[in-house]
Structure 1
Amino acid sequence: MSDAEPDPRTPAPEPHGHRYEPLWNPPVASTRGRPARVSREAVVDAAVAIADAHGLDAVSMRSVARSLGVGAMTLYSHVPGRDELLDAMVDRAYADVDLPEPGLPWRPALERYARGYWQLLRRHPWLLDVNRWRLPLAPHVFAFDEAGYQILIDTGLTASQVIDTIGIVHDTVVGSARAAAAEDADRRSQGTDYAAYWASTSDFWEETFDPSRFPAMTRLWSVGAFENASTPFDPHIKGLLDTLELLIDRAQAEGGSPIPSFEECMARYTAALDEQREAGQA
């Protein structure tokens, strides 16, 4: 068998539409027979609670069933397996994001959007272990991304710049959240907070550190530039917004790059479908 040929013993993956359908159209509980001991919502909430308390690795069909006081097989009537359960957990978590109100100017809206994402990752740090590039095709995940694109889509940036900028905002928030989560973990394991840790290193700075060897670091330290290092979110997002403001101002000064309206997009889509139908009938 050549490397290019699929192994016939490997089962074909299920269509993604089947996997994500329950997220968009949750199954209705049957009214026939005995009432279900737990609901799909209760299963997902229990899994989120376990992940919040103990991390994503602690979530299994068995651990969730145990927390609900039911057998593991009971859960399979609501979610087919752990992958589908994780999809539902992510969507449930994103339902809590505090999104900006429509109509806000882009800068306060984007700051609110970034802060909402930061708060989401602080409430549910296990989301940092989920590959953001492969998040489930879920309604609340889509609503979150849509809100970000809506903030920037009519600012004069190109379509690619809108996508890239929202990606940079996500990466900035995720980086800050990872640092904060690591600090939380060290504080729990070592029993010292950020200030106490650095206070304990005073001997190093007085006896070992050579300012002449690290002049840039020394100059920054002399004006207090490192004092906010324990609260990474606020200065990082402010710096990003300041830079983005310059980019948007320049784009608008140059006339901007209009992105087609929703109505124009749908008209083009309809015209393309009509062309395909006519070509098929020819």
Structure 2
Amino acid sequence: MQSMSPAPESKRTRGRPRGSRPALSLPAVVDASVALLDEAGQDALTFRALAARMETGVGAIYHYVTGRDELLDRATNAILADVLSGVDVREDPFEVLRTLSATLFDTLQAHEWAGAYLLRDTTMQPNSLRIFEAMGQQFMRMQLTSAQCFNAASGLLSFVVGSGAEIREMPAAFLEEGVSQEEHLQEFADAWLALDAHEFPFLHTIARGFAQHDDREQFLAGVDIYLAGVRAQLG
């Protein structure tokens, strides 16, 4: 009697081991979206690319979100989750606002795509609403009127988000050519110095130190100027 040969390996056990795919859940979908956005920017976020990253089908992604806009809003909300964690709201309100502004700025610098979507849909972004609320509460502590609080909080948040979204590292093309950040900025400074000094006195004034300026220090100086204006209104 011939010995029986081993049963052929089932298709289920061939190739990838069972259970090795990323677990599919709403938090996992959001985390994968953030990673994809950080790596390749907002144009790269498609359901097909996300499904490939998570090793699943496009239909499975739609089980958790309705579309790309929801993905972007939920991803934005996710990266804002820790902004308030390091802020002691019981400190001096001006210091709280400065710390909160710096933390939000750093977060937007780390996730360059997020500035365009912050506060776009607060039903999907409760963390952005909490940040706005935290700013507003600090202005309330200064005994400002409701209109002043609204204007001050809205203006500061707009400045932070605008700065965080607009201030960028130099284009990759320059890095590939071996041009440093300072050399890149110096080209602008030299062009400004070549302009007529009587017509462009401001540009001539700032040009000599422009290439060496620090973006974050410049941003915080802007926050200080903004808050100094609020302080002046208090009398």
* Same fold at TM > 0.5: yes
Question: Which residue of structure 2 aligns with residue 164 of structure 1?
Answer: 151
- The amino acid of 1:167's aligned partner reads S
Could you say what the CA RMSD is over the residues aligned between the two structures, in angstroms? 2.9
2: CA distance, partners of 1:129 / 1:150: 24
Contact 1:93 1:120 in 2 (8 A): yes
Query: Is 1:228 the counterpart of 2:233 in the alignment?
Result: no
Q: Indicate the percent of aligned positions where both proteins have the same amino acid.
A: 24
Shift of 1:238: 1.4
Question: Which residue of structure 1 aligns with residue 162 of structure 2?
Answer: 175
Task: Give secondary structure in 2 for the equivalent of 1:57.
Answer: helix
Task: Give secondary structure in 2 for the equivalent of 1:196.
Answer: helix
Matching of residues 131-210 of structure 1 within 5 Å: 132-181=119-168, 184=169, 186-191=170-175, 192-200=179-187, 204=191, 208-210=194-196
Question: Which residue of structure 1 aligns with residue 80 of structure 2?
Answer: 94
Q: Which of 90, 98, 109 pairs up with 2:96?
A: 109
Structure 1 residues 204 and 108, CA, compared in 2 at 3 Å: closer, same or farther? closer
- The amino acid of 1:119's aligned partner reads D
Report Cα offsets for 1:58-89 as digits up to 9, x if no partner: 11221111111111112222223323322321
Contact 1:96 1:120 in 2 (8 A): no
Matching of residues 1-282 of structure 1 within 5 Å: 37-99=23-85, 100-130=87-117, 132-181=119-168, 184=169, 186-191=170-175, 192-200=179-187, 204=191, 208-218=194-204, 220-221=205-206, 228=213, 230-231=215-216, 232-247=218-233, 249-250=234-235
Shift of 1:195: 1.4
Report Cα offsets for 1:99-145 as digits up to 9, x if no partner: 52131111100001111210121121111222645444433222222
1: CA distance, partners of 2:112 / 2:56: 27
Structure 1 residues 68 and 226, CA, compared in 2 at 3 Å: closer, same or farther? closer
Contact 1:101 1:109 in 2 (8 A): yes
Contact 1:50 1:59 in 2 (8 A): yes
Report Cα offsets for 1:223-258 as digits up to 9, x if no partner: 9688637443122111111111112x22xxxxxxxx
Contact 1:187 1:193 in 2 (8 A): no
Contact 1:153 1:162 in 2 (8 A): yes
- The amino acid of 2:171's aligned partner reads R
Structure 1 residues 226 and 238, CA, compared in 2 at 3 Å: closer, same or farther? farther
1: CA distance, partners of 2:143 / 2:61: 49
Contact 1:187 1:194 in 2 (8 A): no
- The amino acid of 1:194's aligned partner reads Q
